[in-house]
């Protein structure tokens, strides 16, 4: 681990490989050479994916390669820190002009979740994001959304446009029948209040689905 410590100090954390980065997080001291072996085993169990490793359940993680609770907690905390940094950076891009902007803003928030969440982005006519609000939280395959709650907040904010965003933990971004029905309900109700449902974006791991991009919203 001394060579790894020297590398980190002299060249920065960005110079570390994925295995070295994980080892640096879980290592108990600068001479903990086993940390590299454990890190390699952890990544191999996650198919080499840092995202999959970061979203592994804490209890399962602590049992992997004899990691233990303390080091598993340290790894989970580091992963959460990375997600929050990414979310904060994405929030700087506070104007929506395409589904790509929506993904950039919201993927750090919902992309790695193991359950479904639905969020509403409230926009000014210019596309500026006034507020983003979680409107529901559900299970692995579904979440219940209250349209009245979505529109009530839009009126309070004097928002002229809304974007719905939710995630699919299953990994498939294709909309379900419930997703289609929700989109139709919100679009119709919003139109009565002269508010436009600009898009509904589903985010899955490595993919997304835009209702507007697929001509489901006009």
Look at residue 93 in the predicted model and tell me its pLDDT.
55
**Closest CA relative to residue 116, chosen from 131, 133, 136, 101:** 136
pLDDT of residue 142: 55
Domain with 6, as residue range(s), is 2-87
Task: Specify the residue for token string 């980190």.
Answer: 8
Query: What distance in Å separates the CA atoms of residue 108 and residue 110, rounded to the nearest whole number?
Result: 6
Determine the Cα–Cα distance for residues 213 and 215; give it in Å rounded to an integer: 6
Examine the domain organization and report whether 82 and 111 are in the same domain: no
As beta bridge partners, residue 43 has: none
| 100 and 145 fall within a common domain | yes
Q: Do 47 and 128 sit in the same domain of this protein?
A: no
Residues 72 and 129 in one domain: no
CA 70 to chain centre: 25
Residues of the chain with pLDDT under 50: none
Q: What pLDDT sits at residue 1? A: 66
Both 137 and 171 in one domain: the answer is yes
Helical segments of the chain, H only? 2-11, 18-26, 34-45, 50-54, 58-63, 69-91, 99-110, 147-157, 177-192
Q: Residue 217: inside a domain, yes or no? A: no
Reported pTM: 0.63
Q: 136 and 61 share a domain?
A: no
């Amino acid at each position: 681990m001394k060579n790894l410590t020297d590398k980190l100090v002299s060249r920065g954390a960005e110079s570390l490989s994925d295995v070295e980065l994980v080892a640096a997080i879980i290592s108990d001291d600068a001479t903990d050479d086993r940390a590299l072996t454990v890190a390699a085993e952890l990544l191999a169990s996650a198919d080499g994916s840092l995202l999959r490793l970061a979203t592994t359940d804490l209890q399962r993680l602590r049992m992997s390669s004899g990691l233990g609770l303390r080091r598993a907690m340290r790894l989970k905390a580091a992963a959460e820190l990375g997600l929050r940094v990414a979310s904060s950076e994405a929030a700087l891009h506070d104007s929506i002009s395409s589904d790509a902007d929506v993904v950039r803003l919201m993927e750090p928030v919902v992309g790695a979740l193991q359950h479904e969440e639905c969020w509403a982005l409230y926009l000014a006519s210019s596309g500026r994001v006034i507020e983003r609000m979680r409107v529901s939280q559900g299970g692995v395959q579904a979440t219940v959304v209250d349209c009245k709650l979505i529109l009530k907040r839009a009126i309070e904010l004097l928002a002229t446009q809304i974007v719905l965003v939710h995630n699919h933990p299953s990994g498939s971004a294709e909309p379900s029948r419930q997703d289609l029905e929700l989109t139709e309900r919100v679009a119709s109700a919003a139109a009565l209040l002269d508010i436009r449902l600009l898009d509904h974006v589903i985010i899955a791991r490595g993919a997304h689905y835009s209702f507007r991009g697929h001509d489901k919203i006009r």
